[in-house]
Structure formats: structure tokens, C-alpha cells
Structure 1
Amino acid sequence: MSTVQPKPNGNKDIIGSLREKLNATVLPITPAQQQDLLAQLNSDMLSLGELSLHIMSVPVAALHICRAAGEAARNRDVDILTLEQACNLLGTQRLTRLIEGIPVVEAQQLPAAYRQLISISEHAVSQAHGLFSQRIARLWHEMSLATLLFLSPLWALTYIKPHIFEQWDAMNRGVLPANVSKRQIAETTAAGFVLVQQVAQDWWLPPWILQGYRSMNSSRRTMVKALHIARNANNPQDQQARLDSDRELYRWLTQPANSLLMATGIALGAHHNWYAIHTLRWQQLSALYLGCSVDQTQHISHESAVNSARAQHQANPGQNWLPAVSLPWPADYAPTLEPAAKPASAPAGQTPAAPIRPERWRQLCLTLNAQPTPFTTLPELLDCALKAMHDGLGLQQCWVALFNGKAQQLVVGAALGFSSEQSVTGVRLGNPRASTWGNWLSSDTCHHLDSAELTRLGPILPGALRSMAPDSTFELVPILHNGQVLGLLFACNPGNQRLLDQQRQKALIKTANCVLNALLNFKQRA
């Protein structure tokens, strides 16, 4: 994760300053977590091992305990390897005082970015358990703690500077910070890795964590070499031959510390997209490490994500974005909104156009064109049409109106992207048959309207359309059958004063044709 804003020749000073702040930061837990842990400590029913497993479900408490035990262990020049070892070193009385002294804050008052990053760490533990617990069974208690705390220096950073997580979140969705180049981001990311390694050393975190950071800092070339070999997943014999010819690379790859690195990489990648190249790289490297196929690795990874989501939802329902939710989505689909972080701010009043997702759009159009129709109700059909415009073409506001023969009116049947205050569904848009309004609609396959056009066409357009027209440029696409207006599509990106690009225009017209086919097929079925 990129952790500091780029500054020429200033990274060392920034890292030093942040290091001091992170070391001084005391992370909070919720009152419910504190009460639960104290109740478990006061219970005579749990062994120290069982208690340590319970503490693992409160990651911040586990960090506090390891830091406190680390201070004592540093004086003896020993490492803290497991949470049970840390608890045993402190003793029950000191553990109780320590947990009583942790600051408490209600979950709703904690920064969303901070909660989300801790959730990612919990997901990483689940990934490590599913993928690697059998391979490193003897070390599992050590590796589970190391995986949980691997990102803990960034928990502190995100707690005091939540916007950094939001910037990282936005960058992974393709939104670069203003006036910042990719080279600056790369330099900043490298500096961030140095920072978190230094903080992990200051906190005397388990040595597996430090070894993982060393892999990213001092063994980066070796890691890149391993990633290149992992990409050749379709040729396992060639992969093995290359590993056999480079024993240094093979020794590095088989280090147990790499398991926490790969599990965390998958959890971070899945936070944005299961099918993104970053996620795939970590899955390929995991497959190389385990000596299995990428498909097997992905299957286990998906199961692990579901297990993590169940556990997290049970403990904190609805608080965080859980990547398992997105597993059923098509590979080319990503939602416009995710609860992971706030979207990057745009100029006031503007909504940036979402990217076109061709595969998603084609899939929805194929559904509309299917014979016999797959739709059992008209609302299902209209919902598919809206998704083709919204999800496939990245149009933020859209509605579909159909001609009502009984009322002799175009009536908006379904809408997407409007607030609850904007009552769109059910609005009547006049009679498009044998009228100037209908003749104008039929005159072109796509009408582009802005404020000037609205003024010029004022007498022709229905009053309801003029009153609900946005300040932005918008498109009206008629659904025509035998020269008659059967329906109407509306599409708009709020705040955008420019016409749609040619690709979207053509796709929007094609969508109208698909909706027509769907309506005709639906009528035949009825």
C-alpha cells in the first residue's frame, strides 16, 4: 500500500516523522470486544491456548499483547512467535490490566478505512489457513499470528491518516492522485515498505513478519523472478526445470514466511477484484509454492474467502466490505459503488463516467435477445435493460419508458441511479403516436439534448420531460417497431456537459434494439 505523499528528497524525513507517530499510536477496540475479552480472562474454563485463540478474533488486542510481550522479550533477546507464548510471558494479571487499559471506541465511530484494513488482515489469515496450514502444519500457530499482524503497522497509519487507505483504494480502481506520476507512486510505495519494516522492528513483532518485509525490500528481484516463472502455469514441467536450475530461487520460494506474504497479497487483491492481475499473480505464486494448479489454488482461495466472510459477518454484521460477496459476479464486472472506501472526489456537481465493461454489456444484451425469453415478468426485462446501460455502458442515470396503449402515454416503467427524492418511475411522457413529439422521436436513432436544445425544442417536448430533465447533457433513444414508438431509453452522466463518446452512442442504440427484441419475445410468450 502506498503510504506517504511523494515529496522530492523528503521521504527520509517523512518516514522518520511517521515512524515516531506510529510508535506512539494506541489503537482502540470496541467496548463489546473489551468486555468479552475480560469475561474470558476471568473464566476458569479456558486454558491459555484456548484464550489465545479467542484473542485472535480481536486483532487489535492481539497486537497490544504482542507489543507488550515484545518489550519484555527484547530485553531477553528472544522472539515472540505465538500468541500463547506472548500471553504466557505476560501472565493473566498483567493481561487483564493491559486489556482494561486499551482505549475503547464504538465501532461506528472508528474510521471506516481502519476497520476495513483490519478486515483484510482477518481475510488473509483465512487465506493462509486454507492454502498453507497443511503445508506448514508444525508452524501454523506461528504463521497465523504473523499473517494477522503482517499489516498491523498500516492499521496504525490508517487510523491516524484514513485518507491514505482511500487514496490506495482509488488508485487500484485506476484513479491517480492529482499531479502525481506513476514513478512517484512507485517510489512512495517502496518508501512505505521500508517504513512498515522499521515499525515492525520497533514493535518487536514476530520474525516471520520481518522476513516477509525483507522479501519485499531486499529480495525484490528474486520475487519478480519467481512471479515470472509462476505466470507459466500451463507448463508445470518447465516451471520445475527452471526452479531446479536456480537453487537460490528455490530456497527463497519455499521459505515459510512467503506463505503470509502470498495470503496477504491475495486478500489485498481480492478486496478490489478477484480477477485483477494483482490477485492472479499472488494466486499463481501460491500455486507454484504449493506445486498445484492455479485452478486448485483459486478454488481453495474462494472457499477461504467465504469462510472468512461468514465469520466476520457473524461478528460484525454489515460493517465491512467482504470480497466473498463478489465471487458470483462475472469476471469483467465490478460494481460502481463498493463499501470499501469513499470514491475519489470529483469537481462539484460532476459524476465521472464509469468505464465501459464490454463483456458485461454483451452478456446482458444476449440475455435480452434470447429466444425463448428468459423473463417471466416485465420488471425483470426492464431491470436487465437498465443494467446493460448502467453496469455495461457506465451510464450513471437511466430509465426505460414503454407505451401504454390504454392510457395512450409513454410511461417510465423502471429507473436506476436516481435518489429516493427523485420520483421517476410512473412519470407520463405524452402520446408518441401521431404527434409532433412522436414524429421528432422517430426522426433519429439517438437524440442528444443539452440546455440549448431543451430551449429550442421546448414546444415539442412534454412538460413532464422538461421538468425532470437534468442540467447535464442526456440521451433519448427511441425503441421503434414498424415506424411506431414502442418505448424510450434515457441515459445521463450527471454533471457531464459533453456528448457521449461514439462507442457508447452506438452501444446505446444497439441496447434499444435488444430491448425491442426482448419485448417482442416476451409478448409472444405471454
Structure 2
Amino acid sequence: MLKPASYPRTLTDWLKQLDSQLLPASSDSQQKLRRALADSNRSMRELADLMQSCPALALSVLREANRKSSGLSEQTESLEAAISRLGIKRTEQLLNALPAMPEQELPKALRQILLISQHASHQANGLFAGRLARLWQEIHWGSLLFLAPIWTLLAAHPELFEVWEQRVLVKGEAASKVEQELLGVPLLKLCLALSEQWHLPEWVIQGYRLLVSDRRLLVKALHIARDNEHPLHQQQILDADSNLRRWLTQPANSILLANGLALSAHYAWNSPHSLRWQRLTGLFLQLPLDNVQQLLHQNAVSSARQMPSTDLWHPAEALLWPWQARHLQAIVEQPKSTVISEWRQQCAQLLAQPSAFSNVLQLTACANQAIQACGMQRVLILLADRNHTRLMAQQQSGLDKAAASLSLDPQQSQVLRRLLSAPAQLKLSPANIAQFSAMLPGSLKSLFPSEHLLIRSIASNNRVVMLIFADQGGRALSDAGMQGFGKTMQCIERALTSFANRGR
């Protein structure tokens, strides 16, 4: 458990710490940009485009350019203008000042929030830049840098991201309460203060000011946006409130909408929070909700295709899953000594000679408990009939109640047919989930909305009789968990053999 006392507790202290926090950059991006800056044939536009792959440098350049601006010069809103103001030499100095490390060594929380920002920028370009073509640079860079204050927060304290996910998104605690306990100040207030101190683009500052001190207009607009099926009625209400209509049509709102959409999609496309942003976007663009959702999904897929395959979560992946599935699951920790003791006890019962079980139900119940004790949080045990025409749920834990009555036709799934043909194990991970996900029944995927899953088929007397599905609550499978799962499977195989030979 994190101790709030280990963090600054006042806005002043947070500003002091985060203002001096350097964002790390990946070594590959740094080398690529160093070569580009040394190439005299590169235009400012090309350099700015390349810096999208290194948001840390983009933020550093923009901060430096606006910090050096005088009262007579305007704030720089785009990276291209910032590079022109600073010059190539100073830009290269800023690049060299960034801590560099391999991509996978960067804090995962930082990489995830950067992905969310890049997704937001992609949504902004797809939804708004074409309609507001003359303002595309403000839209592009404003949407990318909107969450920059949170980048530095997670660079300094990456553990906060998982805590916030678990408490706010998974457990449903009030964000204001969690932020007060962890940070001592509201997160949005901290973001606004940093944005002003760093002289981020004015649209970014406007967005945070709206969220912090002027939510009245936003609440009004959200209320009108709920009636998405009656656009004429919406327009009549807006016409009657000229102040609200004037605010709603401001181009600066585009970057707030894009980031609201990207942040809420990180949890789920169909959550109430996400639907609010979708309806508000529909009101802003004067489009039906169905059209907005279609554009959002297309933009998300396009965004995911442009990003390398990593261990990070991209909302486009959720489009392949059953609609009610969630990739974030509660983390359940158990005392290690208790778990090991329980696992040994269950395995000893499985290995007992002669068999300690009088029926299959007793055996599978013990197997289920052993699998949980080895570190798996969600377990499903399916039994196959003699002809492999039906798989029936026998035991389950950590899953929806519907799992208890699950019945599958293995002929409808190439993966299940292969597992039933001979004992085997399949480990699903981000590297192969796209390959196998489409070949699994939808009812199974809805029970295990995860990129990390173990599937094992177990035989008795040379015939597969059981399929076991298990994961660690959606998280990456640990080495200890994998090792424990393998040993548990050996115990179950021996238990099945002993049970089949009882009384002979």
C-alpha cells in the first residue's frame, strides 16, 4: 500500500518537484532524432513530425521556447514554430539532456500514458483537423501535450498509475477522494498549475481551467448532449442560450474532447464516462452518436496500426472483444506463506495413492483449488464428453456466474479442436493474441477479457478429458505463476490416472 506521506502534499511542493523532473526518452528515438537534427536537408516540418515519436523532447522544446519568449512575442503553439525560435543547436542540446534508455526499460505507466496521448492526438486529427484545417497544428500539438503534466507525474512516481486504475476504474472510488489521499491536491488543479507554469499552448490551459473552475458550461452541454436522438431539439436549446452555443463551438474544445475520449476509452468504449464524451463530441460536430462511434473506432484502429506491438493496452484491442468485457481486473493479493501451504496441501491430495476421490466432481474441485493456490485468480475447468462433441463447465472461480453453466461445441473453434486432439498448452500473450483470439468462442473471451491466458488440455488413458483455462486477473503471467501452474498440471494428470485406475 502506498503511503501518502511519501509524496509532496501541497501544490507548491508538487510544482517544485515536477518542474525539475526530466522525462526519459527511448534510446532509439533519441538516436533517430539526433541524426535528423544533423541532416541539413530536413525541414522544420519534418523535424516536428519526427518528434512525435519522442513526446519528451516535444514537451521540452515547447517549454523552452515559451520560457524564452518575451512579453512582446506570442506564445508558441506548435512544435515547428518552437524549433524555429530555438534553433537546431539548442534543440539538439535539449535532446542530449534527456535521460535515454531502451524502450522497455521506461516505466510502463509512463509508456501507457504516452500511448493515451498519442491516441488522443490521432482522434483529434481524425475528428476535428479536417473540419478545422487552418487550425490543424493547434489541434494536433494541443491534443498530444494536453496530458503532459501527468507524464511528468508518472515519470517521477509510476506506481501511482496502477493505484489510480485499481481504485478509481476497477473499484469505483471517487477520483477526488483518491487524489486527495495520494497527492494531497486535486489532480486537475495540479495539471492546470503546471500547464500555466510551463506556458503550454493556450488551448491546453483553457481546457484545464474549464475542468477546474468553470464546469457549469460543460455540465449544461453534457445535459443537452444526452438527447442525441433529437438534433433539432438540441439546436433549439442551444439557440436559446447564446453564451453556451458560443462556448461549445470554440475550436479549443477539440483537444479537450479528444483527450476525454482517449482517456475514457482506456477503460471501456461503452462505459458511462466514455459515452458522455462521445455524446458531447456528437453535439460539437453535429453528428449522430452512431456516426461518432464509427469514426472513433476507425481512428482507434488506425492509431493502433501505427504503433509497434508492445505490452501496452490500446483501446482498439477492445473492439475485438465482447462488448461488456473489461481488460482491467481487480488485483487480489494473498499472503505468500499461506498460499504455498495451501497449494502443497491440495497437491498432496491430488497425488494420494490410492485416489482420495470418489467422483470426478471432488477431483476437479481439488484441482480448482490447487490452481488458485499456485497464483491463478480466474480458473475454468471444462470436461469433454467421450466423442469430443461437447465441453461442459465443471469448476470455475473468479468468473461471472454464467461460467458455471457454460457449454461449448469444440467443432466451432480450431483452437479447441487442436487442444482436444492431444495434450498441449497454449499461452496467450500480446505477441500472439491477434492470431488466436478470433479462433476462440466469444463466450470464453468474455469470461477472460485479457491478453494473458493459459489454456491446457489434460489426457487420461491417451484421451484428452479436460481443458483448463487460467489467468492472473488479466495481468502478465509471472514466472513463478507459470512454474506453479506447470507443476499443478502434473499433479492433476497423475490424479486423473490414479482415479481412472481405482478399484482395478
TM-score (norm 1): 0.69
Match of 2:351 in 1: none
Note closer, same or farther for the CA distance 1:221–1:93 as it changes in structure 2 (3 Å cut). Answer: same
SS at match of 1:286: helix
Q: Which residue of 2 aligns with 1:520?
A: none
Count of paired positions: 409
Change (3 A) 1:217 1:281: same
Deviation at 1:103, TM superposition (A): 2.3
Query: How far does the alpha carbon of each residue in 1:9-41 deviate from its partner, in whole angstroms, 9 at most, with x for none?
Result: xx9952211111011111121222121112111
Match of 2:132 among 124, 127, 136: 136
Structure 1 residues 429-444: aligned runs within 5 Å: 429-430=496-497
Indicate yes or no: 2:315 matched with 1:318. Answer: no
Ranges in structure 1 where 5+ consecutive residues have no aligned partner: 338-342, 438-526
Partner of 1:148: 144
The yes-or-no answer on 1:61 pairing with 2:51 is no
Output aligned runs, 1:225-236, within 5 Å: 225-236=220-231
Q: Is the 8 A contact 1:80 1:86 kept in 2?
A: yes
The letter for the 2-side match of 1:346 is E
Maintained 8 Å contact 1:230/1:284: yes
Q: Say if 2:290 is the partner of 1:290.
A: no
State the match for 2:178 in structure 1.
185
Q: Which residue of 1 aligns with 2:412?
A: 374
Q: Distance in 1 between matches of 2:4 and 2:241?
A: 37
Instruction: Show CA shifts across 1:395-416 (max 9, x none).
Output: x9997878x6xx4988444443
Q: Does 1:419 align with 2:482?
A: yes
Task: Check 1:232–1:17 CA distance in 2 against 1; reply closer, same or farther (3 A cut).
Answer: same
TM-fit CA distance, 1:162:
0.9
Looking at structure 1, the residues matched to 446 and 231 of structure 2 have their Cα atoms a distance apart, in angstroms, of: 42
Structure 1 counterpart of 2:316, which letter?
Answer: A
Q: How does 1:4-403 map to 2 (within 5 A)?
A: 13-76=9-72, 78-175=74-171, 184-185=177-178, 191-313=186-308, 317-335=309-327, 344=331, 346-349=333-336, 356-357=399-400, 365=406, 368=408, 374-375=412-413, 379=417, 387=444, 390-391=447-448
Q: Contact conserved, 2:399 with 2:447, CA < 8 A, in 1?
A: no
For 1:434-473, what aligned pairs fall within 5 Å after superposition?
none
**Structure 1 stretches of at least 4 aligned residues deviating more than 4 Å after TM superposition:** 4-7, 180-183, 186-190, 349-359, 375-378, 380-386, 396-402, 408-411, 430-437
Q: Structure 1 residues 284 and 378, CA, compared in 2 at 3 Å: closer, same or farther?
A: closer
- In 2: Cα distance, 1:232 partner to 1:24 partner: 46
Root mean square deviation of aligned Cα:
3.6
Counterpart of 2:326 in 1: which secondary structure? coil
* Matched residue SS, 1:416: strand
* Paired amino acid for 1:94: R
Supply the distance in 1 between the matched residues of 2:398 and 2:63 (Cα, whole angstroms).
Answer: 45
The 8 Å contact of residues 168 and 175 in structure 2, kept in 1 or not, is answered as no
> How many Å separate the matches in 2 of 1:148 and 1:38?
22
CA drift of 1:242 comes to 1.6
Inter-CA distance 400–43: structure 2 relative to 1 (3 Å threshold): closer
State the one-letter code of the partner of 1:416. Answer: A
Residue identity in the other structure for 2:291:
Q
Residue 5 of structure 1 and its aligned partner are, at CA, apart by: 8.2
**Residues in 2 aligned to 1:162 and 1:289: alpha-carbon distance in whole angstroms:** 34
Deviation at 1:154? Answer: 0.7
Counterparts of 1:137 and 1:322, CA distance in 2: 27
Q: Partner of 1:387: helix, strand, or coil?
A: helix
Aligned to 2:384: none
Q: What secondary structure, in the 3-state scheme, does the structure 2 residue paired with 1:51 have?
A: helix
Q: What's the offset of the Cα at 1:419? A: 2.5
Alignment gaps of 5+ in structure 2: 340-374, 379-396, 421-439, 472-480
Contact 1:386 1:400 in 2 (8 A): no
Q: Give the distance between the partners of 2:446 and 2:284, measured in 1 at CA.
A: 42
8 Å contact kept, 1:389–1:398: no
* Between 97-106 and 284-293, the greater mean CA deviation after superposition: 97-106
Deviation readout 1:452-509 (Å, 9 max, x if unpaired): xxxxxxxxxxxxxxxxxxxxxxxxxxxxxxxxxxxxxxxxxxxxxxxxxxxxxxxxxx
Change (3 A) 1:170 1:275: same
How many angstroms apart in 2 are the aligned matches of 1:389 and 1:77?
Answer: 55
Output the CA distance in 2 between the equivalents of 1:183 and 1:114. Answer: 22
Name the SS of the counterpart of 1:327 in structure 2.
helix
**Percent identity between the aligned chains?**
32
CA offsets 1:231-264 (integer angstroms, 9 cap, x no match):
2212222221221111211112111121111111
Q: Which whole-Å CA distance do the structure 2 matches of 1:47 and 1:257 have between them?
A: 27
Q: In structure 1, what residue type is equivalent to 2:158?
A: P
Q: Evaluate the alpha carbon distance shift between residue 5 and residue 77 of structure 1 in structure 2; reply closer, same or farther with a 3 A threshold.
A: farther
Compute the displacement of 1:128 (Å).
0.3
Residue type at the aligned position of 1:332: Q
Specify whether residues 236 and 5 from structure 1 end up closer, same or farther in structure 2 by C-alpha distance, changes over 3 A only. farther
- Kept in 1, the 8 Å contact 2:124–2:258? The answer is yes
* Cα shift at 1:62: 0.5
The CA distance in 2 between the partners of 1:12 and 1:413, in whole Å, is: 50
CA distance in 1, matches of 2:151, 2:126: 24
Q: 1:182 to 1:289 in 2, by over 3 A?
A: closer
The CA distance in 2 between the partners of 1:386 and 1:398, in whole Å, is 15
Question: Could you tell me how far apart the structure 2 residues matched to 1:207 and 1:105 are?
Answer: 32
Q: In 1, distance between residues paired with 2:101 and 2:414?
A: 49
